[in-house]
Amino acid sequence: MPPKTFTEILLGGLAPDGGLAMPESYPEISPAELESWRSLDYPSLAFEILSRFMDDIPADDLRTLIARTYTAEVFGSKEVTPIQTLEPDLHLLHLSNGPTLAFKDIAMQFLGNLFEYVLAKNNDELNILGATSGDTGSSAEYAMRGKRGIRVFMLSPYGKMSAFQTAQMFSLQDENIFNIAIKGVFDDCQDIVKTVSNDQAFKQKYRIGAVNSINWARIAAQIIYYFKAYFAVTSSYGEAVSFSIPSGNFGNIFAGHVARMMGLPIRQLILATNENDVLDEFFRTGLYRPRATIETKQTSSPSMDISKASNFERFIFDLTGRDAARVKELWKSVDQGGSFDLSDTDLWKKIRDFGIISGTSNHAERITTIREIHRKFNTLIDTHTADGLKVGMELREPDVPLICLETALPVKFADSIQEAVGFVPERPDGYDNLEKLPQRFEHMTADAEQVKRFIANQVGPSHQRHG
Ligand SMILES: *Cc1c(COP(=O)(O)O)cnc(C)c1O
């Protein structure tokens, strides 16, 4: 598609042909510039990085938006993403201290403020349509609740999220928040979002936008903590680090990939999957074979129960040397429920240059990891973080610091913690009676037309965009 400004991409979601938007090029950060960022606090670092991607927001406004988002009040500390050193060369990067206790808040809280700012400026409104397997939904709703000019329509697989995750979302009573529970799995929800977003007329008429991890602004905001963590565990340029990332939709690790492309000295990006191991299969064998809905397993790390990784397309775009036609060709078969195999191609030879390696864990291994980390370091981790730690410790290189991304707090997955260590994690203040609060949601079958009708009814003719 013809190039667009940052704000147009922000509001538009998918490209007109259903593909994902990418920046025309990545900013390159020289070693000297990188070193000059070393002592910056989180908001200043965020400004340096985000301003490289946001071409149409005045610098002063961007600074204000960042300052309002990345506060100790919202994220529990001035550091925003503190590092905990478990032992020499093994670190935990805490990304889960935002309002919904999962890493998605870091990008989403910024997105909420950004949307409100842009919509007010354009005298416009936006109906956010999203799909969630757990954490995206609550994170989006907490970021958008009460925001002017914004409604949220969030699809989730009925009965498939943890009780805590469900309660977090469904207990919200804000008038601009609509929870839609779909009979099916996450991928059914995601397919509905794609179908609705591909209906250009409907999308235009009802001002439909996205906050899924395909939203470029979210990727951009996630790049920041890779830099922050790098500075926290190194003392000078030339030192390299590796990251391990519990992965589902490939959004978090893709942000790490972008950080690496920008010049951050990252050795390995270690991708961890749970029993839904589509991505692990690809990085081990070259075969990308998204699974069918009925093959998607419900696991103890539900935010990673994904069989079709939406951001993966962005990585393949880079792998092909930014050859959009080739990506389109590969996705032709994926979109028809098929697969592609790169093992015998020129691309597979290139893949090592990108530093991504992968592994997987099962439930028993995650439980053992939670128990071991608690015993050795007196630290409780959740099931997703356990996946990353398990795979990271297996695949890491000696003498390279490993930073494991903590993607949720253990309190969100109390059953598994109980199983691992024999007690339930303490809840932060204000979360005590969450599951007992009244819940508000719609129940629907996996039918895009029904979802469209619901949106049309809520938005109503008087709220459609004028002119
Ligand atoms: C969303 C999520 C993931 C997966 O992140 P992706 O960006 O989709 O790869 C992992 N852990 C938790 C707790 C999450 O909420």
Pocket test for ligand 1, best of 310, 311, 384, 404 (most atoms within 8 A of CB): 384
187 in a structural domain: yes
Give the pTM. 0.92
**Are residues 119 and 238 part of one domain?**
no
Number of Cβ within 10 Å of residue 238's Cβ equals 8
317 in a structural domain: yes
Assigned token pair, 211: 């906050």
Assigned token pair, 246: 């519990």
Tell me which of 23-27, 123-127, 209-213, 223-227 is least confident.
209-213
| pLDDT surpassing 90 at residue 272 | yes
**Are residues 443 and 349 part of one domain?**
no
Q: Give yes or no for a contact between 20 and 311, defined as CB atoms under 8 angstroms apart.
A: yes
**Are residues 152 and 277 part of one domain?**
no
> If pLDDT is split at 50, 70 and 90, which confidence band does 225 have?
very high
**Are residues 180 and 239 part of one domain?**
no
Strands of the 241-246 sheet, one edge to the other: 83-87, 90-94, 402-406, 241-246, 266-273, 356-360
Q: Which atom of ligand 1 is nearest to the CA of 96?
A: 13
Compute the average pLDDT of residues 171-198.
93
**Are residues 198 and 95 part of one domain?**
no
Q: Which atom of ligand 1 is nearest to the CA of 384?
A: 11
| Residue 216: per-residue pLDDT | 93
| Residue 354: per-residue pLDDT | 95
- Catalytic entry in 4, 78, 104, 452: 104
Q: Which atom of ligand 1 is nearest to the CA of 104?
A: 15
Q: CA geometry: angle at 281 spanning 249 and 103, to 5°? A: 25
First CA to last CA distance, the chain: 24
Residue 262 Cα to ligand 1 midpoint, Å, equals 23
> Phi, psi at residue 324, to the nearest 5°?
-60, -35
CATH code of the domain containing 329: 3.40.50.1100
Residue 252 Cα to ligand 1 midpoint, Å, equals 7
| Residue 306: per-residue pLDDT | 84
| Residue 466: per-residue pLDDT | 45
**Are residues 107 and 238 part of one domain?**
no
246 in a structural domain: yes
Residue 280 Cα to ligand 1 midpoint, Å, equals 15
**Are residues 407 and 455 part of one domain?**
no
Rounded CA-CA distance 140/329 in Å is: 33
Residue 248 Cα to ligand 1 midpoint, Å, equals 5
Compute the average pLDDT of residues 17-28.
91
357 in a structural domain: yes
Tell me which of 348-362, 380-394, 418-432 is least confident.
418-432
20 in a structural domain: no
Pocket test for ligand 1, best of 20, 252, 270 (most atoms within 8 A of CB): 252
Assigned token pair, 428: 């932060």
Q: Ligand 1 site: residues with CB under 6 angstroms?
A: 102, 104, 135, 213, 246-252, 303-304, 384, 407-408
Domain containing residue 157? 103-212+431-460
Pocket test for ligand 1, best of 138, 161, 278, 303 (most atoms within 8 A of CB): 303
Assigned token pair, 265: 């000295």
Residue 98 Cα to ligand 1 midpoint, Å, equals 15
376 in a structural domain: yes
Domain count, the chain: 2
| pLDDT surpassing 70 at residue 281 | yes
Residue 359 Cα to ligand 1 midpoint, Å, equals 16
Tell me which of 19-28, 202-211, 372-381 is least confident.
202-211
**Are residues 283 and 381 part of one domain?**
yes
Residue of the CA atom closest to atom 2 of ligand 1: 303
Residue of the CA atom closest to atom 1 of ligand 1: 303
4 in a structural domain: no
26 in a structural domain: no
Pocket test for ligand 1, best of 94, 104, 139, 276 (most atoms within 8 A of CB): 104
3-state secondary structure the chain: CCCCCHHHHHHHCCCCCCCCCCCCCCCCCCHHHHHHCCCCCHHHHHHHHHCCCCCCCCHHHHHHHHHHHCCHHHHCCCCCCCEEEEECCEEEEECCCCCCCECHHHHHHHHHHHHHHHHHHHCCCEEEEEECCCHHHHHHHHHHCCCCCEEEEEEEECCCCCHHHHHHHHCCCCCCEEEEEEECCHHHHHHHHHHHHHCHHHHHHCCEECCCCCCHHHHHHHHHHHHHHHHHHCCCECECEEEEEECCCCHHHHHHHHHHHCCCCEEEEEEEECCCCHHHHHHHHCEECCCCHHHCCCCCCHHHCCCCCCCHHHHHHHHCCCCHHHHHHHHHHHHCCCCEECCCCHHHHHHHHHCEEEEECCHHHHHHHHHHHHHHHCCCCCHHHHHHHHHHHHHCCCCCCEEEEECECHHHHHHHHHHHHCCCCCCCCCCCCHHHCCCCCEEEECCHHHHHHHHHHHHCHHHCCCC
Collect all residues with Cβ–Cβ distance below 8 Å to 104 and sequence separation of at least 6. 135, 136, 139, 140
The alpha-carbon radius of gyration of the chain (Å, integer) is 21
Compare 231 and 14 and report the one with higher pLDDT: 231
Q: Which atom of ligand 1 is nearest to the CA of 134?
A: 15
> If pLDDT is split at 50, 70 and 90, which confidence band does 462 have?
low
Assigned token pair, 1: 């598609």
| pLDDT surpassing 60 at residue 463 | no
Residues facing residue 241 across a β-bridge: 266
Query: What is the pairing mode between strands 83-87 and 402-406?
Result: unpaired
Residues facing residue 272 across a β-bridge: 246, 359
**Are residues 192 and 251 part of one domain?**
no
Assigned token pair, 102: 């999962």
**Are residues 128 and 172 part of one domain?**
yes
**Are residues 195 and 162 part of one domain?**
yes
Residue of the CA atom closest to atom 15 of ligand 1: 135
Residue 109 Cα to ligand 1 midpoint, Å, equals 16
Residues listed for the chain = 467
| pLDDT surpassing 70 at residue 465 | no
> Phi, psi at residue 68, to the nearest 5°?
-75, -25
Query: What is the pairing mode between strands 90-94 and 83-87?
Result: antiparallel
Rounded CA-CA distance 218/79 in Å is: 19
Compute the average pLDDT of residues 210-216.
81
Residue 104 Cα to ligand 1 midpoint, Å, equals 7
| pLDDT surpassing 50 at residue 467 | no
Q: Which atom of ligand 1 is nearest to the CA of 247?
A: 9
**Are residues 138 and 231 part of one domain?**
no
Task: Count Cβ atoms within 10 A of the Cβ of residue 236 and give its class: 0-12 exposed, 13-18 middle, 19 or more buried.
Answer: exposed
In Å, how far are 177, 243, 270, 283 from 355, measured between CA atoms?
Answer: 40, 10, 8, 10
| pLDDT surpassing 60 at residue 464 | no
Q: Which atom of ligand 1 is nearest to the CA of 382?
A: 13
Q: Which atom of ligand 1 is nearest to the CA of 412?
A: 13
Number of Cβ within 10 Å of residue 179's Cβ equals 23
> Is-catalytic flag, 104?
yes
In Å, how far are 13, 217, 465 from 16, measured between CA atoms?
Answer: 9, 18, 19
Rounded CA-CA distance 210/216 in Å is: 10
Compute the average pLDDT of residues 246-266.
97
